[in-house]
Chain A
Amino acid sequence: MMSFSPLEWQIVRFTLAVCAFSTLLILPVGLATAWLLDRYHWPGKLLVETIVTLPLVLPPVATGLVLLKLFGRRGPIGYFLSQHFDVDVVFTWRAVVLATAVMSFPLLVRSARVGFQGVDQRLEQIARTLGASDVRVFFTITLPLASRGITAGIVLAFARAVGEFGATIIVAGNIPGRTTTLSLEIFSAVQLGHDATAYRLLIVCVVVAFSAVWLSEVLMKRRSMG
């Protein structure tokens, strides 16, 4: 029962690769957003906070529809990319990356922000008295001291990406060998009555999600104890 077919292996590899890529893609933007939200007050901050949180509360299908309208060939961003860079997004692997990135972005930002909040800013000041520039302080003091929150955010974002379904199916479709992810394939297998396939892929999902959440909890506990 546990032997995977070549197609199932391809789906597992594709899902993990796409989710890892989308997590890496949102990492710098997510860290910058979390840091700016934690450390500064600026006009429009509340609006950005709300927009960042929206994918958590909107139905994923609705988020997918917004992305489809924006990145479709006739959408403002999709048209621009198609005309100037000859790049199509929707119904390609890029759409899977886009959907998973947007859906997991809030989780990364929220966890990273908790990480930054936990950094004793007096230590950053001490580093400055020792001659460190703001950039050096960020990379040698702030980032390492916030690392548990950041790591937890990365793990949660990756796990959310693996489990993403609603937005992905709207913006990327379910094209075998091109955009089919674990979640989409489980859905198809159940629809077609291929229970064995569904269960095998379900186990992969459970293992990935369990490992991610467990790791995140361990890191958060170590942070609160340390």
Chain B
Amino acid sequence: MVKRSPYEETIDGMKLAIRQLSLRLQQFTLGVDLDIQHPRTAIFGPSGAGKTSLLEIIAGLRKPESAKISFNGQLFDDSGRNYSLPVRLRKLGYVPQYDSLFPHLSVQRNLLYGSNRKPKDHTLNFHHVIDFLEIGHLLDRHVHSLSRGENQRVVIARALLSVPQLLLLDEPLTSLDAKLKNAILQQLQALHREFAIPLLFVTHDPAEAIAICEEALLLQAGRITARGNPAELLG
């Protein structure tokens, strides 16, 4: 039976529109103008190409010099009108590269931190998410005692439990050994099928983009230089 996501209706017509985005970085200016409509899209590029900056701007964590960004018709940023939707109202799950679990809270309290938003169906309930990511045995643990792989799974689960309308993943598999990377890769592959939440996946590893996404955007020195099927573009 195909499960319905609370955002299934938006997935069919997902549209992240980024217009005239500009942000001066150390080596170059990030300049992006594009629409993202595939629910599993990779932003691929070498280190320092501006991938994380782009993701942070979408999440509202970084202010661009100029940009007009909307998601499914909801305006996120419009620098022309000096408008920026507060981060908490964007309903985006963000999985950063750095350790982002709250160190003073247990795993369970970390997971529940963002669970105030109510899902419209049962796919994103607490037990389903922790079963899916196989982290039930970690609930009472302190975050300092988690391995890197456990840590990443908890971060992904916490983002899911906040019932996001889009999941932003910033190189979530970096610094994991091959076995762990493979295990989490399989979970990320299944994640969209299970919860039907669109993903924007930043990576510099072609294999990850090919495994998870149906479209890849090639970002080089702050510009989108190519886009297409990940296997054709990066394979």
A interface residue numbers (CB < 8 A to B): 122-123, 125-133, 140-141, 144-145, 226
Contact = CB atoms under 8 A, between A and B. Distances in A.
Interface residues of B, number: 24
Contact of A132 (B96, B114, B158): B114
Contact of A128 (B87, B93, B96): B87
A132 B90 CA distance: 11
8 contacts: A125-B61, A129-B90, A129-B92, A129-B114, A130-B159, A131-B116, A144-B104, A145-B103
Contact of A122 (B90, B96, B113, B158): B96
B116 A126 contact: no
B93 A129 contact: yes
Interface of B: 59-61, 86-88, 90-94, 96, 98, 100, 102-104, 113-114, 116-117, 158-159, 162
| Highest count of chain A CB atoms <10 Å: which of B92, B98, B104 | B104
Given A122-B96, A122-B98, A125-B61, A130 B114 contact: yes
A143 to B, nearest CB: 10
Given A129-B90, A130-B114, A145-B104, 12 more contacts: A122-B96, A128-B88, A129-B60, A129-B61, A129-B159, A130-B159, A131-B116, A131-B117, A131-B162, A132-B88, A144-B104, A145-B103
Given A122-B100, A141-B102, A129 B113 contact: no
Nearest to A123: B102
Nearest to A143: B104
A216 to B, nearest CB: 20
